[in-house]
Amino acid sequence: MKDISKSINKVDNDVKMSGQADYVADLEMENMLYAMTKRSPIAKGKIIKIDYPELPENYYIIDHKDIQGKNIVKVIFDDWLVFTDKEVNYIGEPLMLVIGPNKEKIVDIINHIHIVFEEEKPLFEWKDSVLDYHFEKGQGSQIFDAADHVIKKTYTTGYQEQAYIEPQGFLGYPEGNKVTLIGSIQCPYYVKNAVIQALDETQENVRIIQATVGGAFGGKEEYPSLIACQLAVAVKKIKQPIKLIFEREEDMSVTTKRHPSKTHFEAAIKNNQLIGLRAHVGIDAGATIGLSGVVLSRALLAVSGAYTVDHLDVSGDVYRTNTVPNGAFRGFGAPQMFFAVDMFIEHVAKALQEDPLTFRMNLLAKQGDKTSTNGIFRDPILMPEMIEKAIDISHYKEKLNAYKQAGNYKGIGMSLFFHGCGFTGSGEKEIIKAKVRLKKAYDKVYILVAAVDMGQGVKTTFRKLIAYILDIDIEQVVFNNPDTDYVPDSGPTVASRTMMIVGGLLARAANTMKERWTEDCLTVEKAYEQPDYIQYDEKNFVGDAYPAYSWGVNVVEVEVDPVTYQVDLKKSWSVYDVGKAIDERVVLGQADGGLAQGLSYGYLEVMNHQKGKIMQKNMTDYIIPTAMDMCDMETHLFENPYAYGPYGAKGVGELTLIGGAAAVAKAIENAIDKPVYKIPVTPEYIMELMQDDND
């Protein structure tokens, strides 16, 4: 039997390299109009009056009055308006679309729409808690009664912008009574269901097609539903093709970002041992709650990091502020939490004058241990061997000591982390209810799912998976971009679920098809069935929050400039357990790209707002790594097949981002011999840390 991990060339290489792949901005239709958005210039206020200029022929304004269904974008929490009507709650909130054949004229019209606001005092502090969670494990807060002393630290993380190179966009057009939208999206059925609700239309009359996606990283999970609803309302009314493509500045100013966070940790210490943890995590939702509650959950579930702590007292709040709404970004709360907890455990070890590596190794989660919510880590955990490998190839121990002694501004850091694969809790069973379809027509097999290739390679890996199981040529397997008129709802392309859950269902369908292979034409459908052992009480945070976990170790070496405090990445070494790689090269591509985002989240990517206005409005102001910034990244994979994943595959995509920030922050600590409490660790922050010393 051939090993499925052995790499093949990606199936969409040629069309992308030669410039022939169609992204949404590349599509044109006859009589196509353009749409642009008129937005709120203030952070909070009531709309008193709007004066419109006279519209030339074939120019239109579409706003909340045109919405025939609900003026709510269907996400998780119903508080996101398609078009705001009475008040505005953040700078950039959409008020209306201006539509017409000439973009310059549209801009001119937008500039001549005058809105009178009654301004109100915006809220930027984290005071207005709109969701709060609390759970305990073991003795919970009572364990603190038994402590000799308590160590307290606070960790903060900033915004992070997905910075996909292709901005958001859709092309919408009428097809008879139907409204069809083609766009840069991760979740065709999220968009479809949102549009149905906004238009008050039937299933048959809304069609969503995925264009080639030029990067997403969570940024095209829920945000596209907003602009799809706006555009669908316009298409239904105007009955002409309309294209809505964001410019970079607009994309950066108004689309969802990674939630800034603040985590307050307390460690209960007895006889120089860590006996319990208390944590409070606050995240900034921005002006709407959206899916912030789920982001907070994922953060809280990772509260003890890659370690087992028997007694936990965990709480968190989602705060609403008059800022741009935050949302999904690869990792979904976990990058914030793993930074905080992995720093804290190291800081606790140092405070106890214990060797941090030994202290961490002793605390590592083991198979059979209870998770933070009293679920069980059921599968083997290979972390001790993975850490040994990482130490070995990076010479971590020697370098750590040498750099500390030398004071030469060189440093090395190691992060330990996991990622819960798939939706949190019973999300797959209760909410998503994934369905997949596999269709055979003579010598071709068609994959019919709503999973999107956004660069992560699922077009290749799904076709490979089916070809391997059916023992046919990959050329015989067809997987077109999802079109909701043809594919069932296999769920969104998120949460590191695509290969493990959707691929797992496809593998089951292929096995059934194999048994009936002699038939010329047949269709096999499979629906998600939750493994019996997954029982999760979402309200009380009790049970198995995830069916499986992927694990990782990142080591990174840095050099800090002693004068400018610029951080230079020297090299990274990573070891991952993703179950089984369906294609090794695809996984290594995810490993590099995820770690690059994780490392730069930790030291390079600065985004902030002033009075609600995002200060970084383009690729010049918001720095993502160039080829000059990145270092050589060495990656090793450990096989640890998961029983319910296809060939044993678990989640990959998000895992690779999660450990970067803690690894680079620890490397910088090692280099400057000062504790780091916030990311990004910018030269300005390092200077602050160094000056503290001089006082």
Partner 1 sequence: MTMINFKLNGIKKTIETDPNRRLLDVIREDFKLTGPKEGCGEGECGACAVLMNGHIVNSCSVPLANVDEQAIVTIEGFSKTPQYEVIKDAFAEAGGVQCGFCTPGMIIATQSLLSHNPHPSDEEIKIGLSGNLCRCTGYNLIIKAIKIAIKKGEGLW
Tell the residue number behind the tokens 């290749």, with chain if given.
Answer: 460
Angle at alpha carbon of residue 146, lines to 144 and 152, rounded to 5°:
35
Region 321-380 residues binding partner 1, contact defined as CB under 8 A: none
Strand partners, 23: 212
User: Minimum distance between the CB of residue 472 and partner 1, rounded to whole angstroms?
Assistant: 22
Using rule CB under 8 A, residue 107 touches partner 1: no
User: Minimum distance between the CB of residue 214 and partner 1, rounded to whole angstroms?
Assistant: 3
CA–CA dist 528, 105 (Å, integer) = 50
Tell the residue number behind the tokens 């943890």, with chain if given.
Answer: 277
Binding mask 283-322 for partner 1 (x = CB under 8 A): ----------------------------------------
Between 107 and 402, CB nearer to partner 1: 107
Sign of torsion, CA 375 542 652 472? positive
CA–CA dist 496, 586 (Å, integer) = 14
Name which position in 619, 641, 674, 683 contacts partner 1 (CB under 8 A).
619
- Tell me the two tokens of residue 586: 């695809």
Region 428-487 residues binding partner 1, contact defined as CB under 8 A: 454-457
Region 581-610 residues binding partner 1, contact defined as CB under 8 A: 585-586, 588-589, 592-593, 595-597
Closest CA relative to residue 569, chosen from 359, 453, 410, 677? 410
Using rule CB under 8 A, residue 21 touches partner 1: yes
Using rule CB under 8 A, residue 659 touches partner 1: no
Name which position in 3, 6, 9, 149 contacts partner 1 (CB under 8 A).
9
Supply the DSSP symbol for 555: E
Using rule CB under 8 A, residue 214 touches partner 1: yes
Dihedral-angle region of residue 454 (phi above 0 means left; psi in -120 to 50 means alpha; beta otherwise) = alpha
Between 626 and 691, CB nearer to partner 1: 626
The residue count for binding partner 1 (CB under 8 A) is 56
Strand, coil or helix: what is 546?
coil
Query: Which amino acid, one-letter code, is at 681?
Result: V
Between 248 and 613, CB nearer to partner 1: 248
Locate the DSSP E strands across 158-295.
169-175, 178-183, 206-210, 242-245, 261-270, 273-286
- Tell me the two tokens of residue 441: 């027509």
Region 226-255 residues binding partner 1, contact defined as CB under 8 A: 247-249
Between 451 and 596, CB nearer to partner 1: 596
**Region from 212-220, 270-278, 493-501, 512-520 binding partner 1, contact rule CB under 8 A:** 212-220
Using rule CB under 8 A, residue 170 touches partner 1: no
Supply the DSSP symbol for 74: -
Distances (CA, A) of 495 to 44, 257, 328: 33, 16, 10
SS3 content of the chain, % helix, strand, coil (to 5): 30, 25, 40
Query: Which amino acid, one-letter code, is at 381?
Result: I
Region 624-643 residues binding partner 1, contact defined as CB under 8 A: 624-628, 630, 632-633
Region 147-166 residues binding partner 1, contact defined as CB under 8 A: 162-166
Supply the DSSP symbol for 318: E
User: Minimum distance between the CB of residue 334 and partner 1, rounded to whole angstroms?
Assistant: 19
- The most distant pair of C-alpha atoms in the chain lies apart, rounded to whole Å, by 81
Name which position in 33, 191, 213, 314 contacts partner 1 (CB under 8 A).
213
User: Minimum distance between the CB of residue 330 and partner 1, rounded to whole angstroms?
Assistant: 11
User: Minimum distance between the CB of residue 231 and partner 1, rounded to whole angstroms?
Assistant: 19
Between 93 and 251, CB nearer to partner 1: 251
CA–CA dist 71, 244 (Å, integer) = 19
Using rule CB under 8 A, residue 167 touches partner 1: yes
Name the residues that contact partner 1, by CB under 8 A.
7, 9-10, 12-23, 25-26, 162-167, 212-217, 247-249, 454-457, 585-586, 588-589, 592-593, 595-597, 618-620, 624-628, 630, 632-633
